[in-house]
A and B are shown apart, each in its own frame.
Chain A
Amino acid sequence: MTDFAIELAGISKRFGAVQANRDVSMHIAKGSIHGIIGENGAGKSTLMSILYGYYQADSGSIRVNGREVRIRNSQEAIRLGIGMVHQHFMLVDTFTVLENIVLGAEGGLLLKQGMEQARAHLLQLNRDYSLEVDPDALVGELGVGLQQRVEILKALYRGADVLILDEPTAVLTPQEADHLFCILRALREQGKTVILITHKLREVMDITDAVSVMRAGTVVGNVRTADVDKEKLADLMVGRKVSLKVDKAERTPGAAVLEVRGLSLTDARGVKLLDGLDFQVRAGEIVGIAGVSGNGQSELLEVLAGMVEPTSGEIRYHGKDLLQEKSSQPRAALYRQKGIAHVPEDRSREGLVKSFPMFENAILGYHNDKTISRRGLFSRQALLARTRDFIRQFDIRPDNAQLRVGLLSGGNQQKVVLAREIHANPDLLLIGQPTRGVDIGAIEFIHRRLVELRDAGKAILLVSVELEEILALSDRILVMAGGQISGEVAAREADTVSLGLLMGGHKQ
């Protein structure tokens, strides 16, 4: 008989009208990497929150190392050797790595002594799992990939034997994801147990030993990874065949909708974030921007959306330079009015107000729309009608327009933003990481919608760290490196290898 690190039996959890988990049972073998996959809102995060003591299950039982336990809060979870890497990191930016890790586990009255011990322990962990984190670096100055490793360190430092990671790769570049997987493998070798939630089937196939598939709050399959393939998993997850390829007919693009000339952006320290960009996006084409993240893609989107003022250059939209336009309203509002929609890369920080209900988020940025106001006041009816429309079209769950957006699952939040921006029927759609955190069924749907928009003669500028997504959707691909465009390839001729070279900064 295998030893189980975690056994969940008959776990149920209800939030109001939503049954987030229904009679969930799962056995997680010691020293294994166990994947959990499932559609957006299937209840994966909820289940892990229960295991980590953040929520209490309505019924069911949890066994840790064969012993039945009640986990009332996260301190108890930590004591039982369960650690969690949250999707939104819980770190103090102005502290060093070491200080962050010691925080809350200072050990002893005198800080200094505890710190010295902690440092030794930390360096040991660092070596054991090749985490490559500098204990004295300021957390705020680290990239997401490293911050995530600090979170892992923190959990290990507190003695975690079971490590839960909720969509860890959603925010990582492919290279960072690879490094993460090396770390996870090292953890497994040392006998630790890893629970990994992800939407990327490739990752599941690569690294997990077993997979649980969830749908609508229940477990619909527990399988050994060796016994299945991607298609089988997709099938289990969505309950139908999913096409991972995008059908897209050849199309001759029309006139340029967006034309950028010599666009540059220099930050306060004099670093060139954008360095003389020249490119076009024409009506009826999708231009993909590939690149290792942090090479100016985010800044480019923000400049084009009017959120950041460029240092020099021209942004011609339908032939007229937007930067010359005078307006009393902020640029972002002006551009949007002119038909430029923007799906921001960071949905939870920019694209949504989490404490607002869905129907208010449905109009964020479009709140000046004449059709939703009467005599200066919003028409609640119109807002709700619009939101219900979004819910129906994008299959947002649960279908409650009054629900606070922060309570939606990650993928469903993303759908709210997409629905809003696509509904605006823009001439130019700026879209960053459109399918981050979205399940494969929804990816298929979103990709179809984007192609539809393109076929309707709209111009789309797509930024994504997922090369596969760029390759599947784009008509033309621009590669960015160091704030410059290092090359352009027609999508037909592109492949991951040539793009990879360009992304590394090799000029064409």
Chain B
Amino acid sequence: MKFGQPSTLPRWAQLSVLPVLNLLAALLVTGFVTWLIGEDPWECLQLLVSGAFGSGEGIGYTLFYTTGFIFTGLAVATAFHAGLFNIGGEGQAYLAGLGVTLVVLAFDHTLPPLVLVPLCILAAMGFGAAWAFIPGWLQAKRGSHIVVTTIMFNFIAYSLMLYLIGHHLIEAGSQNPTTREFGHNAWIPALHQLAAGVGIELPNTPLNLTFIMALLACVLFYLLVWHSRWGFQLRTVGVNESAARYAGINVSKTIMLAMCISGALSGFAAINELLGSTHRMNVSFTNGVGFVGIAVALMGRNHPVGIILSALLFGGLTQGGLELSFEKPVITREMIIFIQGLIILFCGALENLFEPFIAGLFKRKEDK
């Protein structure tokens, strides 16, 4: 296919056949590398898949990781619909974690859970939004490119947190750069606990209520972007700024708001991790969730259904990869990141690699 020529593939094939082929290609290359380092690719794949989806426990962990990825994926997608490439999900989640921690450390022995948790969520959204607002403002009013500023803001966030945790928030007497454990009032219930309440037994995993919030966020996202007035303005600004001005849309306001929503969504990744799982904050709690969100949005084509599916893929990869590296010491965490990279390469950058070939097949079928 020549650049700029419209695809001749039907839409459903573009959305299903191509991603699957791209994924297979990524796996094929991974298999080859696995073979090169002396492991049996087929066995590794089996371990990976069964680690992620083979047991109730595996599934629970997979969905736990998926939760964070859905939120950061939605965050990237929101900005993307306004024509902005928000690379700063990581830093925004980070700062959101700070907001959560401050609220928790101040109130976890005084406020009841039903007040404290929503307050934490608001703090996460607020801090995430504020950290995204500054690059948004700089872009809208000063023309500083958002890709550059959000990257820088990731570093600033990291340094800031390192300092705060090292000097102020660290648990008294601790050697590790973490805060004290949060009081139980600030714990978001895990799904297995809730299920136990109604007599269903689920394996013990950190999968928590935030997952339900993620699914709700997807529905909201869909309605907001494609069916609301605001989403209409957002998308107009994203694809044609002149038309937006013509239509009387406040472009800089839309840009800033889009970034705030994006940052607030990233904030939920911190909620999932801090209140749902670790119950304390450490320096590396975000662990790349914001960066994976970029890949998730890219692969999911900025649509909630796509985002759920690709978040599930990356969630499975994270969980299965961990299992795999337990079984096979040669396969390290870096190897898993390598696989993620390959998937991003094939599904993002080389998205249309197989297009001409598949289009040819379709054409022949039609001709008959």
Contact = CB atoms under 8 A, between A and B. Distances in A.
Contact of B246 (A351, A355, A360, A363): A351
A175 interface: no
Interface residues of A, number: 35
A306 B250 CA distance: 12
A79 to B, nearest CB: 14
Nearest to A360: B232
B227 A377 contact: yes
Nearest to B251: A330
Given A353-B239, A353-B240, A356-B235, A367 B229 contact: yes
A307 B243 contact: no
Q: Point out which of A73, A306, A365 has the most chain B C-beta atoms below 10 A from its C-beta.
A: A365
A351 B247 CA distance: 8
B2 interface: yes
Given A377-B227, A378-B232, A350 B248 contact: no
B243 to A, nearest CB: 5
Interface in B220-246: 223, 227-229, 232-233, 235-236, 239-240, 242-243, 245-246
A378 B243 contact: no
B233 A367 contact: yes
A377 B228 contact: yes
Given A333-B248, A333-B249, A349 B242 contact: yes
A365 B246 contact: yes
Contacts of B245: 307, 330, 332, 350
Interface in B246-284: 246-250
B110 interface: no
A349 B245 CA distance: 11
A373 B223 CA distance: 13
A80 interface: no
B2 A353 contact: no
Contacts of A54: 5
Contacts of B239: 353-356
Contacts of A356: 235-236, 239
Given A54-B5, A330-B249, A378-B228, A350 B233 contact: no
A74 B245 CA distance: 35
Contacts of B236: 353, 356, 364
A307 B228 contact: no
A353 B243 contact: yes
A342 interface: yes
A365 B245 CA distance: 9
Q: Point out which of B227, B229, B246 has the most chain A C-beta atoms below 10 A from its C-beta.
A: B246
A185 B124 CA distance: 70
A368 interface: yes
A508 interface: no
Nearest to A406: B6
A306 B243 contact: no
A170 to B, nearest CB: 19
Contacts of A73: 2, 5
Interface in B59-117: none
A355 B235 CA distance: 10
Nearest to A335: B248
A333 B250 CA distance: 9
Nearest to A373: B229
The majority secondary structure among interface residues of chain B is helix
A344 interface: yes
Contacts of B228: 376-378
A356 to B, nearest CB: 7
A363 B231 CA distance: 13
A378 to B, nearest CB: 5
B248 A329 contact: yes
A344 B246 CA distance: 8
A336 interface: yes
A367 B2 contact: no
A330 B250 contact: yes
Contacts of A330: 245, 248-250
A335 B247 CA distance: 11
Contacts of A360: 232
Interface string A373-411: 100111010000000000000000000000000000000
A350 B242 contact: yes
A351 B243 contact: yes
Interface in B272-323: none
Contacts of A335: 248
A352 interface: yes
Q: Point out which of B240, B247, B250 has the most chain A C-beta atoms below 10 A from its C-beta.
A: B247
A306 B248 contact: yes
Nearest to B246: A350
Contacts of B229: 367-368, 373, 376, 378
A334 B233 CA distance: 16
A302 B248 CA distance: 12
Contact of B243 (A334, A342, A350, A380): A350
Contact of B247 (A332, A354, A376): A332
B232 A367 contact: yes
B246 A342 contact: yes
A373 B229 CA distance: 8
A364 B248 CA distance: 9
A378 B246 contact: no
Contacts of A333: 247-250
A466 B240 CA distance: 28
A73 B243 CA distance: 32
Contact of B248 (A74, A332, A355, A376): A332
Contacts of A329: 248, 250
A378 B228 CA distance: 6
Interface string B129-155: 000000000000000000000000000
Nearest to A336: B248
Given A329-B250, A378-B228, 11 more contacts: A73-B5, A74-B2, A332-B245, A333-B247, A334-B248, A342-B246, A350-B242, A351-B246, A353-B235, A364-B243, A377-B223
8 contacts: A329-B250, A333-B250, A365-B248, A368-B229, A376-B229, A377-B227, A378-B227, A380-B227
